[in-house]
Structures are given as C-alpha cells and as structure tokens.
Amino acid sequence: MTKKNTITILISLLFFTSIFNFGTTNASAATQDVTLTTNQSSSSTSRVTATKNLLLIINNKGDKTIHYTIFKNGEAWLIGSDYFPGEVLQDKYNVAPGEYSVRLYCGTRYTPTTGCKATGTLTSDW
C-alpha cells in the first residue's frame, strides 16, 4: 500500500466518523448543592448551565425563616418566597438558556439574620 493510499483511507475514516457523530451531543444534567449554616446570613451555589429547565429543592432544617433568589447570568432572575422552619420546597422552572445559581438567605427578605440551617440543590436540564 502506498503512502498516498494510506492517507486517503485515513481521511475517509475521519470523514465518516465525523458524519456519524455530528449532532449527537446532548445536554446533560448538572447539579450544585448549597448549605446555609448557623453562622452565615447567606450562601449560594456555583452556576449551572441550563438550556431548558431547572429543578430547585430547598429544605429548611432550622428554626428560622429562610428565603432564596435564583440568579441568571449573575443577575436576580426570581426572588423566592419565605420558607418557615421544617418546610421543603421542590419547584420546577422552564428557562431560557443561561448560567443559573441560587442563593439562600437567613431570615425574611426584610430582616436578614444568622442562625439558620438549610440545604438546597439546583439541577439543570434533568
């Protein structure tokens, strides 16, 4: 086999491999966790890339009220309600593509404090 034939075969293989792999990438779910401890007034997740939806779960494990804000590309996108001790939130959102994160706050929106215990999970494209 000549060098020219070998190069032709390799180029053909690469071409056919790229045809069969084209368009097969799928978005995969990404999850970020957040924990709000008693010495913090707020805590946030890192960003997750979402293309179609988000799942937010928050568990208020303490004896004080908490609230949350979802950020899109670093700007407040949705300001959540107050959640009382023992309450668990599980919400689903249809979203436009972007980078999302959630921040938990101890206290109400109008009276920030410390002493809360809460956990949260933000999952994209589940």
Cα separation, 101 vs 122, in Å, equals: 7
Q: How many domains does the chain have?
A: 1
Looking at the domain assignment, is residue 16 inside a domain?
A: no
Q: Please name the residue ranges forming H helices in the chain.
A: 3-21
Which residue range is the domain that position 108 belongs to? 26-124
Looking at the domain assignment, is residue 73 inside a domain?
A: yes
> What's the pLDDT at 71?
97
Looking at the domain assignment, is residue 82 inside a domain?
A: yes
Per-residue pLDDT of 60-102, as tens digits, reads: 999 999 999 999 999 999 999 899 999 999 999 999 999 999 9
Looking at the domain assignment, is residue 14 inside a domain?
A: no
Looking at the domain assignment, is residue 19 inside a domain?
A: no
Say if residue 24's pLDDT is above 90.
no
Domain with 104 in it: what CATH number? 2.60.120.380
Looking at the domain assignment, is residue 60 inside a domain?
A: yes
Say if residue 20's pLDDT is above 90.
no
Looking at the domain assignment, is residue 108 inside a domain?
A: yes
Closest CA to 68 of 123, 112, 125, 124: 112
* More confident call, 123 vs 110: 123
Looking at the domain assignment, is residue 107 inside a domain?
A: yes
Can you read off the two tokens belonging to residue 58?
A: 């928050």
